Structure 1
Amino acid sequence: MELAIPEEENKRKGWKRQSPLPSLPEVHHSLSVPNKGNFFRKLMAFIGPGYLVAVGYMDPGNWATDLAGGSKFGYSLLSVILISNLMAILLQSLSGRLGIATGKDLAQACRDHYSKPVSFGLWILCELAIAACDLAEVIGAAIALNLLFGIPMLNGVILTALDVLIVLMLQRKGFRYIEALVISLIVLITTCFVMELIFSQPAMAQVAAGFIPTTQIITNPAMLYIALGILGATVMPHNLYLHSSIVQTRKVENNVESKRSAIRFATIDSTVALMLALFVNAAILILSAAAFHTIGREVGEIQDAYHLLGPILGVGSAGIIFGVALLASGLNSTLTGTLAGQIVMEGFLNIRLSPWLRRLITRLIAIIPAVIVTALYGEKGASDLLVLSQVILSLQLSFAVIPLVKFTSDRTKMGELVAPKWVVMLSWFVAAIIAVLNAYLLYTTFFG
């Protein structure tokens, strides 16, 4: 276990206090990285955290907005998916930089910088966002279990609690096992959508044109609303906390050159992984556009897409493949959600609970609302809860993005590893866009 930095040195580095223990102490610096060797060998040592982060960008919360956007407006909103993904790549690179350069995750950095009341407020908002994100993942997995195996929604929601046991079992073997499971499920999701795109035979010229932004996205209120929903559902606040912690599973030497190299490889890892997430999100929208928009059928719910894909595409297995991808997405997301919950509680409050207890608490926070709503209102209530979860995520996003940009642009805190000026300027611009668009999304949700 690493010793705490002396108080005088800590204050010299711009922090008001010092978190006594690293985040996820059971796996902190548990994976060695080669000091020598070729580029590929070093890169392989850093591959993994980016894919855990990418899971949040293809979770069930994104599916409904992508399906609605494709069925209603064809390929036009592909540009929004591309832009939001580029924003995510930028912010996740800052998150990895913060963790490697300072040895603090974003939750610890907030706790060590802000006053106790502000830090506590940020923790409450972050817990709400994680609960909302977990809620989307739990409901998504339950919907998939219901569609594929006929398991009642209520029972499916309860079954998702078993992911706690999976994470604990794998983490005892080593963090690489968790990364391997997550990457395997991402490969399964990607394979499913490659097959779906082959079945749907989209118009490639229209697909290419969809990646070019048009003024219609701004001038058409209905299109703008779905576009804002895609933006709000793509950049996930809990991923910023998660990434800044799990990059520290790699044992990097405590010098500027080693950390600079680690930042470079971690950025490559997250960028490649997020490009896979871009493919999955774009594939959902393309599939919806090719299957539903061409016949004038609007689809806003996952269940409708599952039942209609087979008959419309003329491939009986199309719906089943869609359901398998949804189940893999839901299971993957619940795995990473439990890790994010542990990081946030330990980072903000410095409370150290047994991993099994922390993950059980995290899962119960998500399961209890889902159980209540599903029991009272059935599938329709669960779908409405899915929409509400995305609104809550939008509300919290700026409270994670702004501190992240603030810390990584502070030379006192980051030293020679401070983000380049052009990155800082671009990051503040992105933070401002996210704040304005999410404020508008919330306004239109409640008053529009």
Structure 2
Amino acid sequence: MAKDKSGFVIAAAFIGPGTITTASLAGANFGFHLVWALLFSIFATIVLQDMAARLGIATGKGLSAGMKDMIPQPVLRGLCIALIVSAIGVGNAAYESGNLTGAAIGLDAFLAIGTGSWAAILGLLAAVLLWTGKHQWIESVLVALVFIMASVFFITLLVASPDWSAMASQLFQPVLNIDAITTVLALIGTTIVPYNLFLHASLVARSTAGQSKAEAVHACRKQSAKAISMGGLITLVVVATAMTAFYQQAATLDAGNIGEQLQPVLGDWAQGFFALGLFSAGLTSAITAPLAAAYAVCGALSLSDNMQGRAFRLVWGLVIACGVIVAGLGLKPLSAILFAQAANGLLLPIIAIFLLVVMNRSQELGQFKNTRLSNAAGILVVSVVVGLGMYKLASLVS
């Protein structure tokens, strides 16, 4: 039986170009004062992904199917389906353009044929990989890209020789105010990704079929915690590198010079290192976003989630096609991305609350129901996410 690598797929999924950008801005503008938000995000991701994985292993179902089964009222079930399709299906189509563009920018630094051309090539590569229907191959490619990202950013940090004492001091001086709240929410939002919950439940439901459920849950929990923590460490390294280059410096980090944060420490190697990291981050998300959309939408619409099925391929194909078209035209899908972020922001607490409910009530879970500790952790996560959202809303209307 092939070893399940779903935890590394989840880590690969949340480290995209948006994560690199957000982490860079956090380090450049706030140093290590917002690392508490990243640490909370990693804790929350481990807690929620563990619930989703246990649900998938114990029931053999994806998260969409589980949600529908728990909602008997037709109207509420319809709203649930609409939210999943809009937030995950349409939202991931919007994100795909950013994923492909980020990976294309990385490759264009090595061979300048235009980001539109690279986006088309990368879209085709993602489509070929998904068309195989071999989740073991997909997982292996994503795991390799995660280790490439880790190597790039860790080497970069070591060469940068950061001020470790300043980082330690700021780590224990957390900041949360009106100026920082948007970045805090962005750090949390780029790490706790709702579509990863759908992706994880579906992947483990398929990859662990036929295995002992108890052994599968134990192995998945251990591997996921390790992989997600590694993803968080990569993000932390990006924060540290940006802090070293930009925090309280004359230069200001923006979209146009984000790669230049490595110039003072890597010289002529800076562009190549950052391009390689950006390519890896973009391609991992460009593969996982359409895959997650296919699992979520097919589950919500009661269609087959067989990776070689027509409906499944149609969904991920549309997501990739939308991403390639928008990236190729050089358009900036800001309104679509804002819609996706709003929908996902609404979906996250709903999904988290649903997980808490189903992980306590579902008769199919048996011994894999939530413990008191799991419930306490889940309630803490939901409370913090909702509280930060309310704080942000209050800051906008005040």
Q: Which bin holds the TM-score, normalised by the shorter protein?
A: 0.7 to 0.9
Closer, same or farther in 2 for the Cα pair 1:144/1:72, shift >3 Å? same
Structure 1 residue identity aligned to 2:43: L
Partner of 2:91: 132
- What is the deviation of 1:388? 6.2
Partner of 2:147: 187
- What is the deviation of 1:109? 0.4
Q: How does 1:349-388 map onto structure 2 within 5 Å?
A: 349-352=301-304, 353-354=309-310, 355-367=312-324, 374-375=330-331, 381=332
Partner of 1:270: 224
- Identify which of 349, 356, 381 aligns with 1:405: 356
Question: Contact 1:137/1:330 (CA < 8 Å) preserved in 2?
Answer: no
Closer, same or farther in 2 for the Cα pair 1:386/1:342, shift >3 Å? closer
- What is the deviation of 1:208? 3.1
How far, CA to CA, are the matches of 1:415 and 1:143 in structure 2? 43
How far, CA to CA, are the matches of 1:262 and 1:416 in structure 2? 13
How far, CA to CA, are the matches of 2:115 and 2:391 in structure 1? 33
Divergent runs of 4+, >6 A:
none
Partner of 1:122: 80
- What is the deviation of 1:97? 0.7
How far, CA to CA, are the matches of 1:439 and 1:364 in structure 2? 36
2:267 match: secondary structure:
coil
What is the alpha-carbon root mean square deviation over aligned residues? 2.6
- What is the deviation of 1:245? 0.8
Partner of 2:32: 75
| % identical aligned pairs | 21
1:87 aligns with 2:44: yes
Closer, same or farther in 2 for the Cα pair 1:443/1:153, shift >3 Å? farther
TM-score of the superposed pair, with normalisation by structure 2:
0.88
Q: How does 1:340-355 map onto structure 2 within 5 Å?
A: 340-352=292-304, 353-354=309-310, 355=312
1:176 aligns with 2:176: no
Partner of 2:253: 299
- Identify which of 394, 409, 426 aligns with 2:345: 394
Between 201-210 and 360-369, report the one with greater CA deviation: 360-369
> Higher relative contact order at CA 8 Å, sep ≥6: structure 1 or structure 2?
2
- What is the deviation of 1:79? 1.9
Closer, same or farther in 2 for the Cα pair 1:117/1:411, shift >3 Å? closer
1:56 match: secondary structure:
helix
1:238 aligns with 2:195: yes
How far, CA to CA, are the matches of 1:117 and 1:251 in structure 2? 34
Structure 1 residue identity aligned to 2:84: C
How far, CA to CA, are the matches of 1:385 and 1:290 in structure 2? 33
Q: Deviations over 1:217-261 (max 9, x none)?
A: 22x32122211221122100000011011012234458xxx3122
1:103 aligns with 2:60: yes
How far, CA to CA, are the matches of 1:151 and 1:443 in structure 2? 47
Closer, same or farther in 2 for the Cα pair 1:74/1:388, shift >3 Å? farther
Gaps of 5+ in 1: 1-31, 34-44, 376-380
How far, CA to CA, are the matches of 1:340 and 1:144 in structure 2? 19
How far, CA to CA, are the matches of 2:77 and 2:386 in structure 1? 20
Structure 2 residue identity aligned to 1:193: F
Q: Deviations over 1:325-350 (max 9, x none)?
A: 11111111111112211111221111
How far, CA to CA, are the matches of 1:392 and 1:101 in structure 2? 28
How far, CA to CA, are the matches of 1:305 and 1:163 in structure 2? 26
Query: What is the total number of aligned residue pairs between the two structures?
Result: 388
1:298 match: secondary structure:
coil
2:231 match: secondary structure:
helix
Structure 1 residue identity aligned to 2:366: G
